[in-house]
Structure formats: structure tokens, C-alpha cells
Amino acid sequence: MKTNVYVLYGGKSVEHEVSLKSASAILNALDRSKFNVYPVYITKEGIWCNLGLLEEEIEDVKQLQIEPSTTVAKSIGEFLAKDFREGEKNIIFPAIHGINGEDGTIQGLLELLDVPYVGNEVLSSAAGMDKVIMRDIFARHGIPQTEYTSLRLHNWKEDEERCYQQVEEKIGYPCYIKPANSGSSVGISRAENRKELKKSFQEAFLYDCKIIIEREVIGREMQTSVIGNDYPKASVSGEFIMERPFFDYNAKYIDGTIIPVVPARLEPAVADNVREMAIKSFKVLNCYGLARVDIFVTDDNQVLVNEVNTMPGFTALSMTPVLWEATDGTTYAELIEWLIQLAFQRYQQKKSILYTRGVEE
């Protein structure tokens, strides 16, 4: 019997369009001789729409979008009652980036449904999505990183001057201001003075009620993919040739100005250190399945962890598949099947856990 793979994509997130690109590639790469493929579109309002069994390749992401005429709760109920083939061999592949998909919310629902799913679980997803929590965990475990501080929206509204002074005294200029929960560089900006800092706060608070401010790191950013469950492996690292001070959303997904270099230009000892730090970060956040760990390497070869992305972009040209192709020849289709196998393994591991007390004799 074939495995039913339900690919969730879209979502109520600023990364909605990025998710469509990832899903299109995943759907086309799944081997139809092994899998029944079901695209499940989640609209920007959060409504679930099952497109049915997919037999042909997706040529345009517009094919993955439909206009629903129902409510969020009703759409989820209809999917579970009518579209989800209960009793068969099923797995969910959440190809959703950002809020409401990568932050543990979808994962929590799937845990309640008791269905295997690809990628990180509730805890690692939530911790990886919240940049402040992630950095607090790194600090607790001695993982090297840049100096940072965080502020909440109500603090800023109550006393703007005090917030700006806190940043200037603790972090200084230049610094980066980011929404605590966001991805794909949405809402992120760089400030070199008070005027730019004010504007950056305004921008970041549009996307979250908590922001993080980080001291700028002068160095090259390495991206390393880590895949596995209890014994994760790290790929070779890759980097991008810098054409801007930092890669905003347009540079990553619209302008096409990013030039990847794989493997990254690192001395062997430094490359090993980066991979070891990537695996350590993966384990510290309790990750399972996959993650992409972004790490700065300074001119004197100091290694500083920037962040862990628990559901990185997943088109055939995204860094994760490119890194594994360069590491050991793993193809895009093989990578997807590897992640599905890991998901089933983790699901079986969790099934052995007792959730009720045993009967005492």
C-alpha cells in the first residue's frame, strides 16, 4: 500500500508565498510509485483547502491556490472528516514557513491527531521561531553568539526614550532590529543612529509585540543543514556572496541577487567547527528531522551562532537540498524520502511512551 502524503502549505503568515514555492517543489519531487500525494492549501485567513489526489506536476504555484467559502474551524473539520484517509498509512509534510506553521501551532494540532509528520515538534519549533527564547537557551548552554537584548511593545509605548537608551548602552551602533517571531528577513532592519533606530522599532513592531536587538557581527554567514533524530548529521556549509549589508526579503526571493558558494570558503578546521556547532545547536533546541543553522565566521575565525531555522526554504534550489547534494550526492527526491523515514521513526519512538499509569497488582 502506498503512503498518503499530505503536504500543508500557504498559511496565515508573511511567508505565505515562500511556502507555495517550497510546496510546489516537494509535490513534484514525491515519487508517485511510492506515495499518494495530496496538496492541502491553507489560505492567508487560515482556511484549509484540500486539492485532492495530485497526479500531474505543478507548473505554476497559482495551481496550488483556490478560493474557499467556509470558516477556519469548519474547513479543518471537513478535512479531517472527509479528506484525511484515516486507517491508512498517512504522513503530514508541513511546508509552512513562519508564524502559524513553523512556530509549533501546526505541530501541536498534529500531535493531538496522533499522526506522523515531517520535521520539528512543538518545543523545538516554538523555541526556534522565537529569537529571544532561542538566544536565551543558547546562552544557558554556552553557545557563542552576539550580544542581544529584547523589548516588548508595551514597554516601548510607555517610554520610548528609555528603550532607545537601553539599546544604546547595552548594544550600541550599528545594530539589527528584528521581530522576535518572524522569518525570511521580514521586518528586519539595520540602525546606525537614533533616527534609524526609531524607524527600525516602528517597522519591527508591525510584525510582533516583542523585538530583539542584536549587535552587528562583522563576518561571513555560513548556512549548514542538520538532519536526523537522535544522531543528527551536518552537511557541508554554504555561504552567499554579499551584495547588500544584509539579505532582506526582496534579495532572498525577488531580486535574485544572492550568489551561493557551496562548499563555503573555510579552512578545514574552521569548517569542522562550524558543523560541530550546528549539530550542538540542533540538539540544544531539541530538534528532530531537519533544521538549517546559520553561523557567522569572523575574520579571525571566531564562530558565532546566528539562528536555527526549523523549516527552511525547501525548493530544489534552496540551500538545504543544495548542501546535501554537495555533501554526499543526496538528490532532492532522496532528501524528501529521508525526512519522511525520519518522521515515521520518531513517531514509532513516541508511541512507546506511556501516557497512563500502569495497573498496579
What are the binding residues?
A: 294, 307, 309
Identified catalytic residue from 13, 15, 235, 325: 15
Q: Which residues contact 271 (CB under 8 A, 6 or more apart)?
A: 236, 237, 263, 264
225: Cβ contacts below 8 Å, ≥ 6 apart: 234, 235, 290, 291, 292, 293, 312, 319, 320, 323, 324
Q: Has 88 been annotated as catalytic?
A: no
Angle of the 122-129 helix axis to the 131-140 helix axis, nearest 10: 100
Catalytic annotation on 318? Answer: yes
- 297 within 8 A of 222, measured Cβ to Cβ: yes
Residue positions forming the annotated binding site for Mg(2+) = 294, 307, 309
Phi and psi at residue 236, in whole multiples of 5°? -65, 160
Q: Which residue, among 16, 38, 5, has the nearest Cα to 97 in the 3D structure?
A: 16
Tell me the three cell numbers of residue 145.
Answer: 553568539
Q: 219 CB contacts (<8 Å, ≥6 apart)?
A: 296, 297, 298, 299, 302, 304
Kindly list the distances between the CA atom of residue 312 and the CA atoms of 23, 175, 225, 289, in Å, as whole numbers in the listed order.
12, 24, 9, 12
- Give the H or E element holding residue 98: none
List 121, 237, 318, 325, catalytic entry = 318
The answer to whether 143 and 150 are in contact (CB under 8 A) is: no
15 is catalytic: yes
SS3 content of the chain, % helix, strand, coil (to 5): 40, 25, 40
What ranges make up the beta strands (E) of the chain? 3-10, 35-42, 48-50, 90-94, 148-152, 175-179, 189-191, 210-215, 219-228, 233-241, 259-261, 289-298, 303-309
Of the listed 24, 125, 184, 225, which one is catalytic?
Answer: 184
CA distance 10 to 199: 30
C-alpha cell of residue 342: 525520519
Contacts of 229 (CB under 8 A, 6+ apart): 288, 289, 342, 345, 346, 349
> Helix or strand or coil: residue 312?
coil
- The SS3 call for residue 179 is strand
Please identify every residue annotated as catalytic: 15, 184, 318
